[in-house]
């Protein structure tokens, strides 16, 4: 429902020639006012192609950074700089340099949930939507280092029947979903299908009827004729699932699988940063250039 605040945001957006991009995990009211809501892949593609002068990025820091890398001539602003991703901080440049030294021939594939410094040391990036496709494009006899998500990495390895050198990072939000939670929900809703994000633990993924990125989960639940679904990912995704499928029922696999960082983005903070164009994300050009290469390669590999 439009309010004084959303009216103000819309007015500022026009004045600043801005576009608002939001991740599928942000608060419902933030998703409702955004021009585009999507997964990490869709957000980076939209950031790369928009002709707006200002991008208000509603998501976590690495996502806004990716937008800034892909759109160096645009001003990318973030409503709250404290919205980070703990997984992205689980590997440091020094640690990755050490691992690369141990495997000098290996190709480094980096999940987009990573810092710009790690991307700059990388051959190829991937998102949860295209990780299998990206690794499949690398010749079988080539060693592959996969950072930082051990769960996504092990999912890719299982899908391709291939050994990968995995970093031991993880998403605390998805790690909080346990097989016991899923079992409990399955008992309560025996007809429901279980759909999970590949950041979940392998034991949880083994229980899934379908595994996909956030946008992939939305697509699957919309197209599948089933009417009940247990959702194994961050609970913000239920907002869109329920709006886009009014006749279907969605149950979170775990009520505590929320990402506190995504929830830092509020309507008030969006209005404030549009007022004074504060919170700009700036990536030093040299690092941006090095980090752009693996992201662009990812977009090429997946034909985006």
9 or 173: CB nearest ligand SF4? 173
Which one of ligand SF4, ligand 13P, none interacts with residue 128, CB within 5 to 8 A by kind? ligand 13P
Q: Does 257 bind ligand 13P (CB under 6 A)?
A: no
Q: How far is Cα 25 from Cα 58, in angstroms, rounded to an integer? A: 10
Q: Does 214 bind ligand 13P (CB under 6 A)?
A: yes
Q: Which of 71, 110, 127, 130 binds ligand 13P (CB under 6 A)?
A: 127
Which one of ligand 13P, ligand SF4, none interacts with residue 86, CB within 5 to 8 A by kind? ligand SF4
Residues within the interface to ligand SF4 (CB under 6 A): 25, 60, 85-87, 113, 171-173, 199, 234, 259, 261-262
φ/ψ of 242, rounded to 5, equals -70, -40
Q: At what angle do helices 285-301 and 40-49 cross, to 10 degrees?
A: 110
Angle 110-113-116 from CA coordinates, rounded to 5°? 75
Which one of ligand 13P, ligand SF4, none interacts with residue 66, CB within 5 to 8 A by kind? none
23 or 269: CB nearest ligand 13P? 23
71 or 127: CB nearest ligand 13P? 127
**Is the CB of residue 31 less than 8 Å from the CB of residue 24?**
yes
Count interface residues toward ligand 13P (CB under 6 A). Answer: 11
**Is the CB of residue 148 less than 8 Å from the CB of residue 114?**
yes
Least distance (Å) between residue 62 CB and ligand SF4 = 8
Cα 145 to chain centroid, rounded: 20
Q: Does 40 bind ligand 13P (CB under 6 A)?
A: yes
Q: How far is Cα 198 from Cα 202, in angstroms, rounded to an integer? A: 8
Instruction: From residue 40, give the alpha-carbon distance in Å to each of 19, 126, 186, 282.
Output: 16, 10, 29, 19
Give the H/E segment covering residue 111. Answer: strand 107-111
Q: Characterize the bridge pairing of strands 54-58 and 193-196.
A: unpaired
Binding mask 98-117 for ligand 13P (x = CB under 6 A): ---------------x----
Q: Which of 227, 233, 225 is nearest to 250 (CA)?
A: 227
Which one of ligand SF4, ligand 13P, none interacts with residue 40, CB within 5 to 8 A by kind? ligand 13P
**Is the CB of residue 269 less than 8 Å from the CB of residue 79?**
yes
Window 178-197: residues binding ligand 13P (CB under 6 A):
197
Q: How far is Cα 285 from Cα 82, in angstroms, rounded to an integer? A: 23
Q: Which of 46, 114, 128, 257 binds ligand 13P (CB under 6 A)?
A: 128
Least distance (Å) between residue 230 CB and ligand 13P = 17
- Residues in contact with ligand 13P by the rule CB under 6 A: 24, 39-40, 113, 127-128, 171, 197, 199, 213-214
């Amino acid at each position: 429902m439009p309010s004084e605040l959303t009216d103000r945001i819309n007015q500022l957006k026009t004045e600043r020639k801005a576009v608002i991009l939001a991740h599928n995990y942000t608060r419902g009211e933030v998703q409702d006012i955004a021009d585009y809501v999507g997964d990490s892949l869709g957000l980076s593609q939209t950031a790369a192609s928009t002709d707006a002068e200002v991008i208000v990025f509603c998501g976590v820091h690495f996502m806004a950074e990716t937008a800034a890398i892909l759109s160096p001539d645009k001003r990318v602003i973030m409503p709250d700089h404290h919205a980070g991703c703990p997984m992205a901080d689980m590997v440091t440049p020094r640690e990755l340099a050490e691992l690369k030294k141990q495997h000098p021939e290996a190709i480094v594939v980096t999940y987009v949930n990573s810092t710009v410094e790690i991307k700059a040391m990388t051959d190829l990036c991937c998102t949860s939507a295209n990780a299998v496709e990206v690794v499949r494009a690398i010749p079988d006899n080539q060693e592959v280092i996969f950072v930082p998500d051990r769960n996504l990495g092990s999912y890719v390895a299982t899908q391709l029947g291939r050994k990968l050198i995995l970093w031991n990072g993880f998403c605390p939000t998805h790690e909080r979903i346990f097989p016991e939670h899923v079992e409990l929900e399955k008992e309560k809703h025996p007809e429901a299908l279980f759909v999970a994000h590949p950041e979940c633990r392998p034991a949880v993924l083994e229980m899934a009827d379908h595994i996909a990125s956030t946008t992939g989960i939305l697509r699957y639940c919309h197209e599948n004729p089933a009417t009940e679904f247990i959702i194994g990912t961050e609970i913000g995704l239920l907002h869109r699932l329920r709006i886009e499928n009014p006749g279907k029922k969605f149950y979170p696999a775990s009520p505590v699988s929320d990402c506190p960082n995504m929830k830092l983005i509020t309507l008030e903070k969006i209005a404030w940063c549009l007022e004074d164009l504060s919170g700009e994300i700036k990536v030093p050009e040299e690092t941006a250039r090095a980090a752009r290469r693996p992201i662009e390669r990812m977009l090429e590999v997946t034909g985006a």
